[in-house]
Amino acid sequence: QKHTIERPQRPRHCHNIRIMKRLGFVAFLALFSCSSNAFPPTPTTRSVFQRDTIPTRKTLHQLLPTDEREKKAPWTRLLSSRLSSNVVSVAMIMASTLFLPWQLELGATPNTNALPAIHLTPSRANALTEEQALVADVWKEVTRQYVDTTYNGLGEDGWRQKRLDAVKAVTNIGPDDKEKVYSTIRNMLAALNDPYTRFLTPEQYDSLVNYAKGGSAGGVGVSLVVDPASGNVVVASVSKDGPAQKGGIVPGDVILDVDGMDMKAATAELVAAKCRGEPGSNVNMSIRHNGKTMAMTLKRAKIKVNPVEASTIMIDNKKIGLLKVAAFSQQTTSQIVDALRNVKGTSAIVIDLRGNAGGYMPAGVDVAKLFLEPQTRIISEVDKSGRATVYLSDGVGSDTKTPLYILVDKRTASASEILSAALQDNHRAVIVGASETFGKGRIQNVQGLEDGSGVAVTKAKYMTPTGKDIHGVGITPERKVPSCGPDDSAETCLDGII
C-alpha cells in the first residue's frame, strides 16, 4: 500500500533554509549587504552575533586616492561600498557558517521591495537535551566554584572527560527517567571524592531553601554531621528530653531517610530541614542503629536549645567555671559573654565542645575574639584562586589572662574547630579530649539550577592561624585522656590536668 505525505506550503514571506559549510551563503551576504541596515536585529529574538561596521563616511572607495577612484566604474564603487560597510559581519558569519549548522530566516513582507531582515539561530542539531543540559549545568557550577583546582587529581582534562562521559550517558534518557539522570550526576561528582559537594533534587533543594528562610520552630532535637568516610549523615548529639532522645536515637546513628526521602546522598542541612516542621506533627524516619535498620515515628516538638550552659565545678579544691556549648548560633557570642560574667573570679575556665557539630560559622570566630589579643589571627578562608580572607581579633574587652581549657571529641566539628584551632595555635588554651576532632575545614555554597534542582559545592577551605589544613585530619588535643568520652564529666576529663 502506497502512502503519500503532502508537504505543507510555506508562506511566501518566510523561508527556512538550513545551511552548513556553504560558501555561497557568504557570497550572498557580501553582494547584498548594501548598508549598515542590511542586518537589522529582530526585536523578539536575541542576536547571535554583534555586528560591527565601518562608518559609511569611510568606505573603501573613499579611502582610495582620488586618481584611483576615478578609474573605478560605478558598479565597482557600489560593490566596494557594499562590501566594506559590513566586512566585519561577513567575516564573522563566514567563520560561524563554516563550523556550525545554522537556520536562516528571511522575514520580508510580500508587498515591499525591501531586502528581507536576516536572522541566524543555531540549528537544533547541536542543541543539548534537557537531561544533558542539566549535567552540563552541574559540571559548570562545580568548575566555577570548586576549591580544589586539581579536581581530586583528575586535572582539567580528566574533569572535562567526566562531563563528556556523563552527557553521553544521559543521551537516550527521557524526561520520565529523572532518577537515572540524578544518579549519573552523582556518579560524576563522586569522582571528586568530596562528601560535601552534592547534587540536590528539586524536592531536596526546596526543603533546604525553606529551612534557610526560617521554616517551622518544631524539630526532633538532633545535631547532624556528614561522615567523610562513608558520606552518610550521622547524629552528632541529641537534645536532652527531645523527641529523638525519647525515641532512642543516640550519637553515631545514621539517618537513612526522612518521610520517604532517601538521605543517602544528602547534606546534613537537608536532613535537618526535613526533620523540622510544626510542633505536634509527625515525622517518619529510618535510621541505622548499632548496625541495624530501624523505622520510627517521632512527634516534633518545640526544641528548647540552650546553646550555652554556665556552671561552676571543683577540681583539686579549685573553683572552675564550666561553659557547655551545644551549638553555635547568632546568639552564642552574647550568651557566652553573659556566662563569663556568671563565672567571673574562678581559677580557670573550661569550654566543653564535645558533641558540638558547629552551626553558625561567624560565631566561632566571634567567640575566639573574646579570649585573644587585638590583631591576632583567628582563621583564614582560602578560595580556589588561593586568595585568602583573614579574620583577626579586635580584642575589645577580651579576657587574655584566665587559664583556658577546651574539651573536644570526635564529633567536635566546623565552627567548634575554628574556635579550638584559633585558641590552640595562639597558645591561649589547652585542648583536652579522647581523640582528634571531626576534621571539617571546608565551606560550601548551595547553587540553584534552572530546573529547580541544586548543587552544594565546596568553594573554600579554612586554614588555622599557623597555616594548618585540618580537613579530614582534625585537631589533636595536647592532653589526650581516654576517659574523656561524650558521657564523662568535665571533672573526669580534667583530673590531674588542672
User: Exposed e or buried b for every residue in 48-75, given b needs 16+ CB within 10 A?
Assistant: eeebebbeeeebbbeeeeeeeeeeeeee
What the block records as the C-alpha cell of 9 is 506550503
What the block records as the C-alpha cell of 99 is 563550523
**Contact 443/381 with Cβ under 8 angstroms?**
yes
Residue with cell 559545592: 457
Residues annotated as catalytic are 414, 440
Query: Which residue, among 196, 225, 356, 216, has the nearest Cα to 274 in the 3D structure?
Result: 216
| Angstrom distance (rounded) from CA 47 to CA 28 | 20
Element (H, E) at 57: none
- Bridge partners, residue 463, by sequence: 380
- Bridge partners, residue 14, by sequence: none
Residue with cell 525553606: 210
Residue with cell 546553646: 307
| Angstrom distance (rounded) from CA 322 to CA 405 | 10
- Bridge partners, residue 295, by sequence: 286
Q: Are strands 430-433 and 377-383 parallel, antiparallel or unpaired?
A: unpaired
Query: Which residue, among 417, 409, 426, has the nearest Cα to 470 in the 3D structure?
Result: 417
| Angstrom distance (rounded) from CA 187 to CA 454 | 16
Question: Phi and psi (nearest 5°) for 378?
Answer: -105, -50
Neighbours of 145 (CB within 10 A): 18
C-alpha distances out from residue 433 to 32, 384, 477, 495, Å: 82, 33, 6, 12
Residues 6+ apart with CB under 8 A from 248: 289, 294, 296
Helix axis angle, 268-275 to 202-212, nearest 10°: 70
Helices (H), 146-240: 155-169, 178-190, 202-212
**Contact 44/92 with Cβ under 8 angstroms?**
no
**Contact 295/285 with Cβ under 8 angstroms?**
yes
State the DSSP string of 135-163: HHHHHHHHHHH-S-TTTTTTHHHHHHHHH
